[in-house]
Structure 1
Amino acid sequence: MSHSPDFAIGKPVRRSEDPKLVSGHGRYTDDISLPGQAYGVVVRSPFAHGTIRGIDISAALDLPGVLAVYTGADLAEAGYAGLPSVLQMTNRDGTPMVKPVRPVLATNKVTFVGDPVAFVVAESATVARDAAEAVEIDIDPLPAVTDAEQALKPGAPQILDDAPGNLGIDYHSGDTDAVDAAIAAADHVTTLALTSDRLVVAAMEPRAALAAYDAQTGRYEVHVPSQGVFAMRNMLAGVLGVDQSRVRLLTANVGGSFGMKSMLYPETVCVCHAAKALGRPVKWTSDRSGAFLSDSHGRDIQVTGTLALDKRGTIKALRITGFGNLGAHLGHVAPLYFTINIAKNVVSVYRTPLVEVSIKCAFTNTTFTGPYRGAGRPDANYLMERLIETAASEMGLDPVKIRKRNQIRPGQIPYDAPSELTYDSGDFPGVFDEALALADWTGFKARQREAKKRGRLLGRGIGSYLEVTAPPNKEMGGIRFEPDGDVTIITGTLDYGQGHASAFAQVLSEKLGVPFDRIRLLQGDSDELIHGGGTGGSRSAMMSGAAIVEAAQKVVEKGKQLAGLALEAAVDDITFSDGTFTVAGTDIAIDIMDLADRVRHGLSLPDGMEDGLDVTHLTEALPSSFPNGTHVAEVEIDPETGVVDVVRYAMVNDFGTVINPMLVEGQLHGGVVQGIGQALMEMTRYDEDGQLLTGSFTDYALPRADTIPAFAFASHPVPATTNPLGAKGCGEAGCAGSLSAVMNAVIDALRPYGVTHMDMPVTPEKVWRAVNVASDGPR
Structure 2
Amino acid sequence: MNAPLNSSLLKFGIGQPVSRKEDPVLLRGEGRYTDDLSLPGQAYGVMVRSPYGHGILNGIDTAEAATMPGVLAIYTGRDLEAAGLGPMPASVGQKNRDGSPARLPKQPVMTTDKVRFVGDPVAIVVAETAKQARDAAEAVVLDIEPLPAVTEARAAVAPNAPLLYEDVPGNQVVDFHYGDADAVAGAFEGAAHVTRLHIRNSRVVVSPMEPRSALATYESGRYVLHLGSQGVFGMRGSLSKVMGVESTALHVLTGNVGGSFGMKASVYPEYPALLHAAKQLGRPVKWTDGRTESFLSDSHGRDHDMVAELALDAQGHFLAVRMTGFGNLGAYLSNATTLPSTGNTVKNVVGVYRTPLVEVSTRCVFTNTTPVGAYRGAGRPEGNYYMERLVETAAREMGIDRIELRRRNQIRSDQIPYKAPSGMLYDSGDFPAVLEKALAAADWDGFAGRRAESRARGKLRGIGVGQYLEVTAPPSKEMGGIRFDEDGDVTILTGTLDYGQGHATPFAQVLVDRLGIPFERIRLSQGDSDLLIAGGGTGGSRSIMATGTALSSASALVIEKGRAAAAHVLEASAADIEFSSGRFSIVGTDRGIGILELAARLHGMTGLPDGLPHTLDVSHTDQYEDSAFPNGCHVAEVEIDPDTGEAAVVSYVTANDFGVLVNPMLVAGQAHGGIMQGIGQALTELTAYNEEGQPLSGSYMDYCLPRAEHAPSFGFTSHPVPARTNALGAKGCGEAGCAGALPSVMNAVVDAVEERGILHVDMPATPQRLWSLLNTGTEA
| TM value normalised by structure 1 | 0.98
Residues 46-125 of structure 1 mapped to structure 2, 5 A cutoff: 46-125=51-130
CA distance in 2, matches of 1:22, 1:443: 41
CA distance in 1, matches of 2:137, 2:302: 32
- Tell me the equivalent position of 1:207: 212
Q: Give the partner amino acid of 1:566.
A: V
Contact 1:464 1:631 in 2 (8 A): yes
* Secondary structure of 2:624 counterpart: coil
Task: Report the CA distance shift for 1:236/1:611 in structure 2 as closer, same or farther (over 3 A).
Answer: farther
Contact 1:605 1:612 in 2 (8 A): no
TM-superposed deviation, 1:606: 4.3
CA distance in 2, matches of 1:221, 1:681: 40
Q: Give the partner amino acid of 1:768.
A: W
CA distance in 1, matches of 2:98, 2:775: 48
Q: Of the candidates 189, 198, 207, which is equivalent to residue 193 of structure 1? A: 198
Q: Of the candidates 380, 383, 406, which is equivalent to residue 403 of structure 1? A: 406
- Tell me the equivalent position of 1:154: 159
Task: Report the CA distance shift for 1:611/1:326 in structure 2 as closer, same or farther (over 3 A).
Answer: farther
Task: Report the CA distance shift for 1:337/1:470 in structure 2 as closer, same or farther (over 3 A).
Answer: farther
Contact 1:486 1:519 in 2 (8 A): yes
Contact 1:564 1:571 in 2 (8 A): yes
Residues 380-779 of structure 1 mapped to structure 2, 5 A cutoff: 380-602=383-605, 605-608=608-611, 611-774=614-777
- Tell me the equivalent position of 1:345: 348
Q: Give the partner amino acid of 1:540.
A: S
Once the two structures are superposed, residues 138-193 of structure 1 have per-residue CA deviations (whole angstroms, 9 ceiling, x without a partner) of 00001100000100010100101221110011000101111111101111000001
- Out of 2-11 and 259-268, give the one that drifted further: 2-11
Between the two proteins, what is the percent identity of the paired residues?
A: 60
| TM value normalised by structure 2 | 0.98
* Secondary structure of 1:676 counterpart: helix
* Secondary structure of 1:590 counterpart: strand
Task: Report the CA distance shift for 1:233/1:633 in structure 2 as closer, same or farther (over 3 A).
Answer: same
Task: Report the CA distance shift for 1:236/1:609 in structure 2 as closer, same or farther (over 3 A).
Answer: farther
Contact 1:381 1:736 in 2 (8 A): yes
CA distance in 1, matches of 2:472, 2:646: 35
Structure 1 residue ranges (4+ consecutive) displaced by more than 6 angstroms after TM superposition: none
CA distance in 1, matches of 2:111, 2:747: 44
Once the two structures are superposed, residues 370-399 of structure 1 have per-residue CA deviations (whole angstroms, 9 ceiling, x without a partner) of 000000110110000000000000011100
CA distance in 2, matches of 1:26, 1:380: 37
Task: Report the CA distance shift for 1:90/1:275 in structure 2 as closer, same or farther (over 3 A).
Answer: same
CA distance in 2, matches of 1:720, 1:615: 26
Contact 1:258 1:373 in 2 (8 A): yes
TM-superposed deviation, 1:611: 4.5
- Tell me the equivalent position of 1:333: 336
- Out of 589-598 and 293-302, give the one that drifted further: 589-598
Contact 2:335 2:374 in 1 (8 A): no
TM-superposed deviation, 1:413: 0.5
CA distance in 1, matches of 2:488, 2:167: 57
- Out of 603-612 and 454-463, give the one that drifted further: 603-612
CA distance in 1, matches of 2:459, 2:296: 39
CA distance in 2, matches of 1:221, 1:557: 37
CA distance in 2, matches of 1:163, 1:611: 58
TM-superposed deviation, 1:85: 1.9
CA distance in 2, matches of 1:769, 1:247: 55
Q: Is residue 38 of structure 1 aligned with residue 43 of structure 2?
A: yes
* Secondary structure of 1:226 counterpart: coil
* Secondary structure of 1:382 counterpart: helix
Q: Give the partner amino acid of 2:208.
A: A
CA distance in 2, matches of 1:74, 1:605: 58
TM-superposed deviation, 1:622: 2.3
Q: Is residue 20 of structure 1 aligned with residue 15 of structure 2?
A: no
Contact 2:34 2:256 in 1 (8 A): yes
TM-superposed deviation, 1:470: 3.5
CA distance in 2, matches of 1:339, 1:430: 30
- Tell me the equivalent position of 2:302: 299
Structure 1 unmatched runs, 5+: none
CA distance in 1, matches of 2:561, 2:192: 65
Q: Give the partner amino acid of 1:325.
A: N
CA distance in 1, matches of 2:399, 2:624: 46
Aligned length: 773
CA distance in 2, matches of 1:104, 1:501: 35
* Secondary structure of 1:712 counterpart: strand
* Secondary structure of 2:256 counterpart: coil
- Tell me the equivalent position of 2:140: 135
* Secondary structure of 1:40 counterpart: strand
- Out of 750-759 and 330-339, give the one that drifted further: 330-339
Contact 2:340 2:378 in 1 (8 A): yes
Contact 1:85 1:333 in 2 (8 A): no
Structure 2 unmatched runs, 5+: none
Residues 136-285 of structure 1 mapped to structure 2, 5 A cutoff: 136-214=141-219, 217-285=220-288
Q: Give the partner amino acid of 1:19.
A: P
TM-superposed deviation, 1:608: 4.7
* Secondary structure of 2:301 counterpart: coil
CA distance in 2, matches of 1:171, 1:608: 55
TM-superposed deviation, 1:332: 3.0
CA distance in 2, matches of 1:731, 1:603: 47
Once the two structures are superposed, residues 663-721 of structure 1 have per-residue CA deviations (whole angstroms, 9 ceiling, x without a partner) of 00000000000000000010100000000010000000000111111000011001110
CA distance in 2, matches of 1:593, 1:605: 18
Q: Give the partner amino acid of 1:205.
A: E
